[in-house]
């Protein structure tokens, strides 16, 4: 067990190192002079200005030195400053990431709440008709452009529920939780719907797989009903592949949230990053990508480890 945990931690360290190197190289991969490109957004930049920015970003030193300095600064909480305002980028990111994280979390929650029973029911009623329904629903879910779904939902909701506030400013969760959740409901639904289908499908295959195992035969031979066998014994053992898939889906949901934010005019990380691309504010883009990706990698690793520690059998199987 200890060996397994150490191996996982090593994997984690290597992936984090790789992510940081790639994100670091971002500015250095810009074709031409990065400082020139960054200042280009504001029109004509003087030679002196370009030289100063290059100096400030430390682009003149050897790559290894630059990387070391960058990592060292981050270890002390310095994630760089906006090239336009001089404000630390991490402040902007903190301010905006909350609502994106909330949207990702709410849609993950909704997806889990709906996909587990849906997948389990589909496994219980497995057979030709339910399989066809599942296939159609899954494929529609996977191929549905979320921004289109969002636009349609806004359109439809306005016709059916004119009282709902689907756009505009977001009421604070602490001051008016009901209005807040009402405002977040459609975005959450839009993000979650395409993922529910995939997750339900994974749950269903995992359940059918579990239902074929020996202990299920034992449970059945004890005289337990099919319902109990499916929902008590098989369900619990299907959660391992499901949780693994959940990590990947969380990444999808986050990507979806960035797009869906635009549909529902939510001032989250997506809007901040799109603005940063237009302004060529590279430190902001770099730090956003780094922070979010590392958060995902670490959270996934923790869930994975916890699961293996709790369920020793899964640990051995891996």
Q: Which is nearer to another protein, 164 or 296 (CB)?
A: 296
Question: Residues interacting with another protein, by CB under 8 A?
Answer: 11, 14-15, 18-19, 22-23, 26, 29-31, 135, 139-140, 142-148, 151-152, 154-155, 158, 201, 205, 251-252, 254-255, 258-259, 262-263, 270, 273-274, 276-277, 280, 282, 285, 288-289, 292-293, 296-297
Q: Which is nearer to another protein, 94 or 155 (CB)?
A: 155
Nearest distance in Å: CB 282, another protein = 7
- Measured between alpha carbons, how far is 220 from 268 in angstroms, rounded to an integer? 51
Q: Residue length, the chain?
A: 318
287: its two tokens:
């730090």
Q: Which is nearer to another protein, 180 or 271 (CB)?
A: 271
Q: Which is nearer to another protein, 182 or 205 (CB)?
A: 205
Q: Which is nearer to another protein, 145 or 177 (CB)?
A: 145
Nearest distance in Å: CB 292, another protein = 6
Q: Cβ distance 130 to 242 under 8 Å?
A: no
Nearest distance in Å: CB 175, another protein = 29
Q: Cβ distance 16 to 297 under 8 Å?
A: yes
Q: Which is nearer to another protein, 96 or 201 (CB)?
A: 201
Query: DSSP class of residue 94?
Result: H
Nearest distance in Å: CB 140, another protein = 8
Nearest distance in Å: CB 311, another protein = 23
CB-count burial class (<10 Å; 0-12, 13-18, 19+) for 247: middle
Strand partners, 81: 88
Nearest distance in Å: CB 72, another protein = 21
Q: Which is nearer to another protein, 155 or 176 (CB)?
A: 155
Nearest Cα neighbor of 291 from 145, 31, 80 is: 80
Nearest distance in Å: CB 217, another protein = 19
78 Rama class: left (phi>0) / alpha (psi -120 to 50) / beta: beta
Nearest distance in Å: CB 198, another protein = 11
- Measured between alpha carbons, how far is 221 from 202 in angstroms, rounded to an integer? 27
Nearest Cα neighbor of 67 from 111, 20, 110, 136 is: 20
- Measured between alpha carbons, how far is 317 from 144 in angstroms, rounded to an integer? 36
CB-count burial class (<10 Å; 0-12, 13-18, 19+) for 38: buried
22: its two tokens:
């790639």
CB-count burial class (<10 Å; 0-12, 13-18, 19+) for 144: middle
Q: What is the number of alpha carbons within 13 Å of residue 230 lying toward its C-beta?
A: 18
Q: Which is nearer to another protein, 105 or 224 (CB)?
A: 105
């Amino acid at each position: 067990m200890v060996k397994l945990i150490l191996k996982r931690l090593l994997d984690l360290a290597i992936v984090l190192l790789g992510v940081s190197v790639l994100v670091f190289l971002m500015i250095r991969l810009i074709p031409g002079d990065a400082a020139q490109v960054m200042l280009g957004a504001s029109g004509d930049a003087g030679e002196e200005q370009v030289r100063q920015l290059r100096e400030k970003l430390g682009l003149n030193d050897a790559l290894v030195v630059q990387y070391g300095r960058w990592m060292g600064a981050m270890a002390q909480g310095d994630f760089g400053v906006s090239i336009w305002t001089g404000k630390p980028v991490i402040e902007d990111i903190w301010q905006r990431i909350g609502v994106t994280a909330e949207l990702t979390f709410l849609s993950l929650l909704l997806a889990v709440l709906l996909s587990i029973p849906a997948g389990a029911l589909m496994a219980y009623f497995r057979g030709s008709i339910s399989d066809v329904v599942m296939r159609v629903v899954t494929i529609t879910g996977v191929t549905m452009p979320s921004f289109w779904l969002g636009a349609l939902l806004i359109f439809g909701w306005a016709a059916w529920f004119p009282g709902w506030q689907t756009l505009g400013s977001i009421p604070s969760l602490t001051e008016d939780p009901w209005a807040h959740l009402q405002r977040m409901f459609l975005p959450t639904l839009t993000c979650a719907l395409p993922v529910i289908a995939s997750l339900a499908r994974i749950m269903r295959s995992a359940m059918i797989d579990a239902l074929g195992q020996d202990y299920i035969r034992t449970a059945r031979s004890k005289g337990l009903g099919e319902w109990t066998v499916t929902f008590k014994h098989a369900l619990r053992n299907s959660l391992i592949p499901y949780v693994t898939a959940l990590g990947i889906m969380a990444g999808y949901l986050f990507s979806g949230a960035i797009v869906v934010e635009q549909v529902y005019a939510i001032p989250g990380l997506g809007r901040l990053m799109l603005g940063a691309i237009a302004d060529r504010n590279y430190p902001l883009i770099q730090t956003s990508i780094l922070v979010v990706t590392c958060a995902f990698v670490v959270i996934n690793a923790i869930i994975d480890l916890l699961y293996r520690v709790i369920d020793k059998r899964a640990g051995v199987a891996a």
